[in-house]
Amino acid sequence: MNQPTYTTNFGSIERFEKGGVQIIDDNVKHYAFSNCFEIAKTARPYERVVFGQNQIYVLEVLRAEGISPWFTCAHDEFALDMDGEIEVHLIKLDAPQQVANTENNGAVLVEGTPRGQKMGWMKLGRGHQALLPKNTAYQFRSVGKPGVLVVQTCKGELSVERWAEICQTA
């Protein structure tokens, strides 16, 4: 018996196929579908565009290009490298710079230069994931061409919603 063969084509910011939702007996407007590569291609560097949401939890796509500002969060976050090579630099923040208000969901910008103990850095390639610990400043640095990061976090003040632009409507 012949086994079927499958080819996995992993997309990139330069080469992706636009996906879609095939509705059998419903209205496509009842569903959200978007493509992280397509969003990153037109986003500003390190703009945090929401492309998936479950209550307060979101998936944000970031176009990794150049050096990001410093971010921090009152809870752990995760970053998944979907395309490109990206460094993640970490500093354990001193208490005065930590996000004390856990009601403030999502990432926030670190005011001024991060003060605290350097924790080192990670170099991510496609498919690598990084833990962004709570109350730690993190900065992304793109190596070479623009890349794509998907960050799992909570919706916050930096989260940008563009549902009308990024979702399939017909």
Q: Can you state the percent helix, strand and coil of the chain, rounding each to 5?
A: 10, 45, 45
- Counting the structural domains of the chain, the total is 1
Q: How many Cα atoms are found within 13 Å in the side-chain-facing hemisphere of 136?
A: 21
Residue 17 lies in a domain: no
Residue 13 lies in a domain: no
Token pair, residue 5, equals 């063969």
Residue 5 lies in a domain: no
- Give the model's confidence band at 20: pLDDT under 50 very low, under 70 low, under 90 confident, else very high: low
pLDDT at 31 over 60: no
Residue 131 lies in a domain: yes
Give the 3-state secondary structure of residue 14: coil
Greater model confidence, 67 or 111: 67
Phi and psi dihedrals of 165, rounded to 5? -85, -35
Query: Which pLDDT score, from 0 to 100, does residue 65 have?
Result: 98
Residue 122 lies in a domain: yes
Dump pLDDT digits (tens) for 111-142: 889 999 999 999 999 999 999 999 999 999 99
* Mean model confidence pLDDT for the chain: 87
> Could you list the residue range(s) of the whole structural domain that residue 114 is in?
28-166
Specify burial of residue 47 (Cβ count, 10 A radius: 0-12, 13-18, 19+). middle
Dump pLDDT digits (tens) for 71-119: 999 999 999 999 999 999 999 999 877 876 666 689 999 988 999 999 9
Token pair, residue 56, equals 């307060």
Q: What percent of the chain has pLDDT over 70?
A: 84
Residue 39 lies in a domain: yes
Return the CATH number at 53.
2.60.120.10
- Rounded distance between C-alpha atoms, residue 80 and residue 130, angstroms: 7
Token pair, residue 126, equals 């496609």
Instruction: Please spell the DSSP secondary structure of 55-114, one letter per residue.
Output: TTEEEEEEEE-SBPPPEE-SS-EEEEEEEEEEEEEEEEE-GGGS---TTS-S-EEPPSS-
